[in-house]
Amino acid sequence: MSRTCNITVKLDEQIGVINPHIFGHFIEHLGRCIYPGIWVGEDSKIPNCNGLRKNVVHAFKSIGAPIIRWPGGCFADAYHWEDGVGPREQRPRRLNIWWGGEEPNEFGTDEFMMLCRLTGAEPYICVNVGSGSPSEALAWLEYCNYAGNTKYANLRSKNGHPEPYGVKYWGIGNENWGCGGSFDPVYYAWEYRRFATYLKQADRSIKLIACGHTSRDWNYRFMEALRDHIHLVDYLSIHYYFGNAQRYGNDVEFSDEQYLNLLFDVQHLEYQIQQAAFIVDFFSEGRKDIGIAVDEWGVWHPQATVESGLYQQNTLRDAILAASVLNLFIRFSRKVWMANIAQAVNVLQSICLTKGEKTILTPTYHIFNIYQPHMGNIALKADVESPIIREPTEKDYVARQRFQRRLKSLKALDVAVSISRDESNLVITVVNQSLDEDLDVKVTLSGNREFQGGSFAIVNAVDVRAYNDFDFPDNVRVREESLEAARGKEFTFRSERHSVSRLSLKLGG
Ligand code: AHR
């Protein structure tokens, strides 16, 4: 006999529109992400579309990847974009100072734009602040977006692309408190103002993303220094990696306690989002709504070292974490406007892994797949009653250096709800984080609408340590079922232990 939980959907309590970009991706010239994860070259025997690995293009497309961030990461602040355009055989080879080896520059701006065009994703470019200049960034913008008769617009045409790309999202450096130049926040603010003044003047339609931090001090001092130039900032970015070998174990070997530690710590990311949102709102003083872009996030297991090219396996546990984080972004949709999981192929929490000609889809891919119906919907509030599966401990406060004063208990169920703009469909994503308990979940509607059936998709496997590999690519996959019986004001469904379910429901009445 399983216990019953309750989800009450508050139809009249809207949070905000779910920006599809919260389901975004990130690729960097690091390990085997670009070469040969994405770029294999036109002459490769690996099936490709103009040099891009076909299966990866297909994977991005099938999850409706809305936005892809490139070229880094730490790589961005050492990258000179002109190295990566023009005839490939003439492009210079450069040292990859952050991740080792040599960069052949075969995959550059035009190849990235082709990836975006083939997958339907919006391009998001991160410019070089650390070792670059505003004029280099301006030239890149001109190359990408200008339609007229100028040096860089003509260069793009000469390279076979007469139509401008219209790149809307531009990041002003990456982690400029660290690998992006070791700036202090005030100095970075001055640099930011310089870059942003020229870029915005050249193209007023673009959106700029400033480098923030998971340190309140950086965000506060940066925003304070920018206070009189608030119009130059559209987003503040934060990066969040779940990495702590002792607390979480490794990629495929971890104890039950370590599994729970990982999910418990999602509230630390929540805290970081709250802090960053508070600071941007405080300094913008209502003059401008600035969004938060969590433009790198994911689990960073101890196997992922520079030597291994940050390669790691990806279990059902990682998929459950991804689902709980996406639920969090949905609940914060008023302020989180973009997020990019790191990184799409062969690096950290990937959606695809490749080996020779083979490409497999990870459990995390399946989460992005089933979450698609939330994109562009309106997030709704819901009351969730569920058993507690882990209480805060003294160790948790120590791990957080007591910054976070009040830690919450971890509930078995983590839930996000959205309604389509025409209010005809409801989407509910339910993560059952319990390792040992299936739960019966009663879903109730507040107000006077009724359920009129729907469908159900679930990601699960026999074990939370299950993963997909090249011999067994479907250990973790999606099962789909009908929910036609879900009718009236309430219904009950079974939420399996360590699973992620997506319910799509028609609404009547
Ligand atoms: O994603 C790997 C690295 O993590 C990125 O290059 C950097 O921005 C972050 O520290």
Question: Tell me: the pLDDT tens digits for 464-479?
Answer: 999 999 999 999 999 9
DSSP bridge partners of 171: 126, 209
Same fold? 3-11+380-508, 12-379: no
CA angle in degrees (0–180, nearest 5) for 372-373-378: 120
Which residue, by CA, sits nearest to atom 5 of ligand 1?
Answer: 73
pLDDT given at position 1: 59
| pLDDT exceeds 80 at position 401 | no
Q: Find, among 238, 307, 236, 300, the residue nearest to 271 by Cα.
A: 238
Token representation of residue 413: 């169920």
pLDDT given at position 78: 98
Spatial CB neighbours of 436, under 8 Å, sequence gap ≥ 6: 497
- Rg for the chain, CA atoms, rounded: 23
Q: What is the percentage of the chain residues whose pLDDT exceeds 90?
A: 94
pLDDT averaged over every residue in the chain: 96
**pLDDT, tens only, 153-179:** 999 999 999 999 999 999 999 999 999
Give SS3 for 70. strand
**Any atom of ligand 1 within 6 Å of the Cβ of 72:** yes
Tell me the average pLDDT across 362-372: 98
pLDDT given at position 404: 67
Distance 225 CA to ligand 1 centre (A): 25
**Any atom of ligand 1 within 6 Å of the Cβ of 37:** no
Spatial CB neighbours of 303, under 8 Å, sequence gap ≥ 6: 250, 251, 311, 312, 313
Token representation of residue 78: 């050492």
User: Candidates 3.40.50.1400, 3.40.1350.10, 3.20.20.80, 3.40.50.1820; correct CATH number of 12-379?
Assistant: 3.20.20.80
Rounded Cα gap, residues 288 and 285, in angstroms? 8
Query: Tokens 């355009």 sit at which residue?
Result: 85
Q: Which atom of ligand 1 is nearest to the CA of 296?
A: 1
Rounded Cα gap, residues 169 and 206, in angstroms? 6
CATH 2.60.40.1180 fits 3-11+380-508, yes or no: yes
Which residue, by CA, sits nearest to atom 3 of ligand 1?
Answer: 73
DSSP bridge partners of 76: none
Confidence band of 198 (pLDDT split at 50, 70, 90): very high
- For 77-101, letters b (16+ CB in 10 Å) and e give bbbebbebbeebeebeebebebbee
459, 309 in Cβ contact below 8 A? no
Q: Find, among 25, 16, 17, 15, the residue nearest to 293 by Cα.
A: 25
**pLDDT, tens only, 490-509:** 999 999 999 999 999 999 98
Q: Where are the domains of the chain?
A: 3-11+380-508, 12-379
Tell me the average pLDDT across 347-369: 98
Query: Tokens 């979480």 sit at which residue?
Result: 248
Rounded to 5 degrees, φ, ψ at 51 are: 100, -15
Rounded Cα gap, residues 249 and 265, in angstroms? 14
Q: Which atom of ligand 1 is nearest to the CA of 75?
A: 6
Residue 318 CA: distances (Å) to CA of 114, 296, 409, 465, 504: 30, 15, 20, 9, 23
Tell me the average pLDDT across 215-226: 93
Catalytic site includes residue 296: yes
**pLDDT, tens only, 250-284:** 999 999 999 999 999 999 999 999 999 999 999 99
Q: Find, among 310, 369, 355, the residue nearest to 55 by Cα.
A: 355
What is the maximal distance between C-alpha atoms in the chain?
73
pLDDT given at position 178: 97
Tell me the average pLDDT across 326-338: 98
Q: What is the percentage of the chain residues whose pLDDT exceeds 70?
A: 99
Catalytic site includes residue 450: no
**pLDDT, tens only, 107-134:** 999 999 999 999 999 999 999 999 999 9
446, 10 in Cβ contact below 8 A? yes
**Any atom of ligand 1 within 6 Å of the Cβ of 349:** no
Rounded Cα gap, residues 337 and 244, in angstroms? 27
DSSP character at residue 103: E
- Per-residue DSSP letters for 109-164? HHHHHHHHHHHTPEEEEEE--SS--HHHHHHHHHHHH--SSSHHHHHHHHTT--S-
Distance 235 CA to ligand 1 centre (A): 19
**Out of 122, 142, 175, 191, which one is annotated catalytic?**
175
Terminal alpha carbon distance of the chain: 34
| pLDDT exceeds 80 at position 427 | yes
**Any atom of ligand 1 within 6 Å of the Cβ of 28:** yes
Neighbours of 356 (CB within 10 A): 9
Rounded Cα gap, residues 293 and 38, in angstroms? 24
